[in-house]
Chain A
Amino acid sequence: MLVSVVKKLVRSVGVLLVVSFATFVLMYGNGPGIARGVLGTRASEADVRAEVVRLGLDKPLLVQYGDWLKGVVTGNLGDSFFTGQSVTSALSSRVPVTLTLIVLSLLLTAVASVLLGVAAAVRGGWIDRVVQFLSVLGAAVPAFIIAIGLVFAFAVSVRLLPATGYVSPDQSVSGWLKSVTLPVIALLIGSIANAAAQFRGAVLDTLSQDFVRTLRARGIPESRVVFRHVLRNAAGPGLTALSLQTLGLIGGAVIIEQVFALPGLGDLSNTSAQKGDVPLVMGCVLVTIVVVLVVNLLGDLVTAAVNPKARTR
C-alpha cells in the first residue's frame, strides 16, 4: 500500500517536472520579447537589453528553470514584472476562488453521477434513455455557453441571482453561496453528463460479472446487491473517470470566471498573459498542474481503499 503510494507520488513529481519545464521553456524562451513587453514598444534597444539583465532573463534557460524550481521548493515564485507583488501573495487571494468552484463541482458531480449512472444502468428503460440523451447534450455544449445561458436566464431576465462578482465566505456565507451558485451549475451540467455516462458503463460492466449472479442466487435482495456489491466494484473505474474530469473542470472554470467576473486563477492568468507578466502566468500553470495531480492521487487512494486488489498493485 505504502509502496504504491510512494510510486504514484514519484510519478506525479515526474509529470510536474516535465510539464513545468516545457511551459517554462515556452514562456521564458524569448527574453528580449518579455523585456520589451514590460517596457512598452517605444523603449530603446539599450533599455531593453538592460531590462533583460535586470530581470535575469540573460541567464541560460536551464539555470533560470533551476532557480525557479528552487523557488518552488522554498515557496518563493518570484515577483510580478509589473507590480512587483510577489506571485505567491497574488495566488493566495485567487486560488481559493477557483478551488471553491472545482471542489464543489467535483463533489456534486460525484454524488449526482453515481445516482444517475446507477439508476440508468440498473433500471434501464426510459431512465437509461433520458440519461444517455442528456449526457450527449450536456457534454457537447461548452460550459461557458451554458454559463452565458444561465446569466441570461437568472441574472438578466429574472434577476434572481447575481450575474457577477465574488463574495468571500468570511464576509457572508449566504452571499458566497449566491455568488458561486450559477458558476457551479454551469460547470456541473457538462461534468455530470460525462461522469454519469462513465458510471453507467462501469455499473453495467459490474452487473454482467459472475459474482453478481451468485450473490443474487444466494437470495440477497437486489437493492443490497447493487448498493453494497456492485457500487463498490464500479467505484474504481468510476473514480478514474471522475478524476480525469478535473482537467475539464479546470478548463471550464477558467473560462467561466470570465463570464461571472470572478477573481480567480483564470482571470489572473488571462490578464497576466495579456500583459506579458510571465512569472504570474507560470505560477498559475504550476498551481493547476498541482491541483490536477493531487486530485488524481486522491482518486487512486480512494480506489485503493474500496478495492483490496488495487492496494497490492
Chain B
Amino acid sequence: MTTTPPLETAVLVQAAAKRRSLFRRLITNPQGAVCLVFLLFVLFLGLSSSWLAPHGPNVTDLNAVNASPFSSGHLLGADSTGRDILSRLMWGTRQTLLACVVVLVVSMVLGVTSGLAAGFYRGRVDAVLNWVSDVVMSTPGVILLIALYARTGSNVVAAMAVFGLIVAPSYFRLVRSVVIGVRGELYVDAAKVVGLSDLRIVGRHVLWAVRAPVVIQSSFVLAAGIAMEAGLGFLGLSNPAKASWGGVLQEAFGNIYNNKAGVLWPALLISLTVLALVLLGNALRDVLQSSAHSRTLSPRRRRELTRQAQEQRQSTTADPAATPADTVLSIRGLRIGYPDGENSVREVVHGVDLDVRRGEIHGLVGESGSGKSQIAFSTLGILPREAVVLGGSIVLDGKDLLADDQQLYAARGRRIAYVPQEPMSNLDPCFTVGAQLTHGLRAVKKTSKQEAERELLRLLARVGIKDPERVFRQYPHEISGGMAQRVLICGAVASDPDLIVADEPTTALDVTVQAEVLELLRELRDERGLAVILVTHNLGVVADICDTVSVMHDGHIVERSDVDALFESPAEDYTRELLSSARRVEIAEV
C-alpha cells in the first residue's frame, strides 16, 4: 500500500496541460498561498543570513548568556554560551537548505528513473526494481543514519544522500504506477507505431504525465528530509562548528530549566516548516483534483431537499382505490437525484409510478443508465450514500417506506429481499457461505442457530446446490459464479419475503446457467406466490419469464403493458427501437 492515493492519469495529464494556470490556482488557494509565502520566507532567511543575520553563528557574548527574548540585540534571546538564537537559526537554515537539495536530488534521480524504467519495460526489470524497493522500504532509516555517523562523522551531504536513497521508493512506486497507466493509453502505442525511440517516448509523453504527481510527492519528501535533518542535529550528530536547526534545539533543550523560551524558537521553526510543506502538498493535490472535489452536496442542502420531499409526501394523500387489492408494492412519483455540485442536484429518475401484484414477475427494462437500478435500490433503501430521494413514495401494505425509516428497516430483508447482479462480489469474502447466510437469516427471524442452519441447508438443496453441507463450509472464492448466485437467491428467499427485487440476476452468468436461474425464480414464484421486480436490459429474459413489463428511458417509464402485448404491438417509438436493436444483436450473435 502506498501512502499516496493513486491519482487518475487522465486528471494528471489534463492538469499537466494546464500547468500555467496551476500556479495561479495554487496562489488563489488560501492554504497553498500561506504555505508558499512561509516557505519563501524561510528560504529568504537562509539565503540572507550572511548579510542580514545580526551576529555570526558562533559569536559568544558573555553578557547575554541565557538572554530572554526581545532583549536588546537579541530578538529571540541567546543560548547558554551567549550566542544569538536568531542568528544561529538563520545560519542553520543554510544546512537545512543543503539537506533539502541533497535529499531531493538523490531520491528523485533514483526514484524517478527506476520508476520510469520499471513502468516502461515491465517484465524482469520491473520485478528486480520492485524487490529492491521493498528491501529499501524495510530499512530502519534513523538507525542506519546513526550508524553512518560512525563511518563518516558529521556530514550532512552523506547523511542526506543515504536518506534520499531510503525515501526513493516513494517516487519509484508513484512514477511506476503512473507510467503503467500512461503506457496503456493509446497515444504511447501510436508513438511506437510512428517509430519514435523509447527515449523520446519517455521524454515526450511519459515524463509529461508524471510531472504533477512528482511535484506533489516532492513536497512530502522535503518535509521528511527536514524533519530527519533536524532529528539528527537533535541527536548531536550534526557538525557542532556549524549552526543547524536541530543543533540549536538540542542545545536549548539541554538548557531548558535555565531558558525555557530558547526551546520554543527552533521547535516552532522546524514544525512550522515541515507542516507548511505537508499542507502545501495537500493543497497541490486539491488543486489538481479540484473537479473531483465539488461533487459532494453540502449537508445543509441535503437536509433541505429531504425535508421538501417529506412535506410533499404529507400534502399528497394516496388514493387507495387507484391500486388493486393484491398489489404488494406500489411506487408513486419517485424522483432520485445525484449531486452535481455543492448545491445542485441532477435528477436521474423523474417521477416514476410502478405497481407489482402478488405472484407477478414485473420486468423493468431499459438501457444502462436509464435509472432502473436506482428504482430497485430505493425500494430497499440501499441507494449509494450520495444519492438523494427528491420525492415520491414507495408504499408497502399502506405504509410509505420513504416517509419512515423504521418502516423501511422493518421491511428490508423481511418483506422485500434482494438478488444482486454480480454474484461473486456480493458475498463477503471473509466468511463461509454458511456463516453469512445464517447471520443474515438470524438478523430478521427469531430462530436458534441450529434451526437456522437446518433450514438453510434444506433451502440450498432446493435452489439446486448439489452438496449443500460442503458448500455451507466453503468460502465464496471456492465456489463458482452460478453456485454463488444460487446461494444469494437462497439468502433472499430464506426469510420468506413477499417481494424479490432482482437486479440483472443473470447478466454475469453463463448462458446455460442463466436459463436455470430464471427457471428457479419462476418456480419459487409459483411455490410461494412471490412478487418479483426483475431489472434487466435483456429483452430475451423479459420474454422468457416476465408477466408484465415497464420500459424505462432517461429516467422515465415510457411504456407499461403485458409482455405479449409489448412484443406484438409496442406503442412507443423508443420501445420499437429497443426491440429492433435487440433483434439486430441476436442476428449478429448468430
Chain A residues with a Cβ under 8 A of chain B: 15, 18-19, 23, 26-27, 29-30, 33, 124-125, 136-137, 139-142, 144-145, 148-149, 151-152, 156, 194, 198, 201, 209-211, 213-221, 224, 228-229, 232-233, 237, 240-241, 244, 247, 250-251, 254-255, 258-259, 265-266, 269-270, 272-274, 276-278, 281-282, 284-285, 288-289, 292-293, 296, 306-309, 312
Contacts and interface: CB of A to CB of B under 8 A. Distances in A.
Nearest to A259: B253
17 contacts: A140-B223, A214-B426, A215-B440, A217-B418, A218-B413, A218-B443, A220-B440, A221-B409, A233-B430, A240-B1, A258-B234, A270-B146, A270-B235, A272-B150, A273-B146, A284-B147, A288-B143
Contacts of B151: 26-27, 29-30, 33
Contacts of A282: 147
Contacts of A218: 412-413, 417-418, 440, 443-444, 491-492, 495
Contacts of A292: 138, 140
Contacts of B428: 211, 215, 229, 232-233
B431 interface: yes
A144 B147 contact: no
Nearest to A236: B430
Contacts of A281: 146-147, 150
Interface stretch (B272-280, B338-346, B553-561): B272-280
Interface of B: 1, 3, 5, 134-135, 137-144, 146-151, 223, 227, 230-231, 234-237, 249, 253, 256-257, 260, 263, 267, 270-271, 274-275, 278-279, 282, 299, 377, 380-382, 385, 409, 412-414, 417-418, 420, 422, 425-431, 436, 439-440, 443-444, 475, 477, 488, 491-492, 495
Given A148-B263, A241-B1, A254 B256 contact: no
B217 to A, nearest CB: 15
Given A219-B495, A296-B138, 7 more contacts: A210-B420, A210-B426, A214-B426, A218-B495, A251-B140, A254-B142, A266-B143
A141 B275 contact: yes
A151 B565 CA distance: 83
Given A255-B234, A292-B138, A308-B475, A219 B147 contact: no
A285 to B, nearest CB: 5
Nearest 9 CB-CB pairs, A to B?
A219-B413, A217-B418, A251-B142, A140-B278, A218-B440, A142-B227, A219-B444, A288-B140, A210-B425
B360 to A, nearest CB: 21
Contact of B443 (A211, A220, A250): A220
A305 to B, nearest CB: 10
B263 A309 contact: no
Nearest to B411: A219
Contacts of A250: 140, 142-143
Nearest to A198: B1
Contacts of A125: 299
B140 A214 contact: no
Contacts of B223: 140
A251 B141 contact: yes
B496 to A, nearest CB: 12
Is chain B's interface secondary structure helix, strand, loop, or mixed overall?
A: helix
Contacts of B147: 23, 26-27, 269, 273, 281-282, 284-285
A229 B431 contact: yes
Nearest to A142: B227
A265 B143 CA distance: 9
B430 A306 contact: yes
B412 A217 contact: yes
Contact of B271 (A142, A211, A224): A142
A289 B230 contact: no
Contacts of A232: 428, 430-431
Nearest to A25: B151
A147 to B, nearest CB: 10
Nearest to A19: B139
Nearest to B416: A217
A269 B145 CA distance: 10
A265 B440 CA distance: 51
B144 A285 contact: yes
A308 B256 contact: no
A39 to B, nearest CB: 15
A308 B249 contact: no
A144 B227 CA distance: 9
Nearest to A287: B143
Contact of B1 (A219, A228, A237): A237
Nearest to A207: B385
A312 B237 CA distance: 47
Nearest to B277: A140
A221 B405 CA distance: 13
Nearest to B410: A219
B412 A216 contact: yes
B140 A255 contact: no
A26 B148 contact: yes
Contacts of B3: 194
A293 B134 CA distance: 12
Nearest to A237: B1
A58 B413 CA distance: 78
Contacts of A149: 267
B143 A309 contact: no
Contacts of B271: 140-142, 145
Nearest to B270: A145
Contacts of B443: 218-221, 224
Contacts of A289: 138-140
Contacts of A30: 151
Contacts of A124: 385
Contacts of B263: 148, 152
B257 A156 contact: yes
A213 B143 contact: no
A306 B271 CA distance: 39
Nearest to B166: A247
A99 to B, nearest CB: 14
Contacts of B231: 142, 144, 251, 255
Contacts of B144: 23, 285
A214 B420 contact: yes
Contacts of B377: 213
Nearest to B420: A214
Contact of B429 (A19, A139, A217, A308): A308
A156 B412 contact: no
A141 B279 contact: no
A252 to B, nearest CB: 8
A139 B224 CA distance: 10
> Which of B151, B274, B377, B420 has its CB near the most chain A CB atoms (within 10 A)?
B151
Contacts of A293: 138
Contacts of A285: 140, 143-144, 147
B430 A270 contact: no
Contacts of B427: 211, 214
A13 B275 CA distance: 37
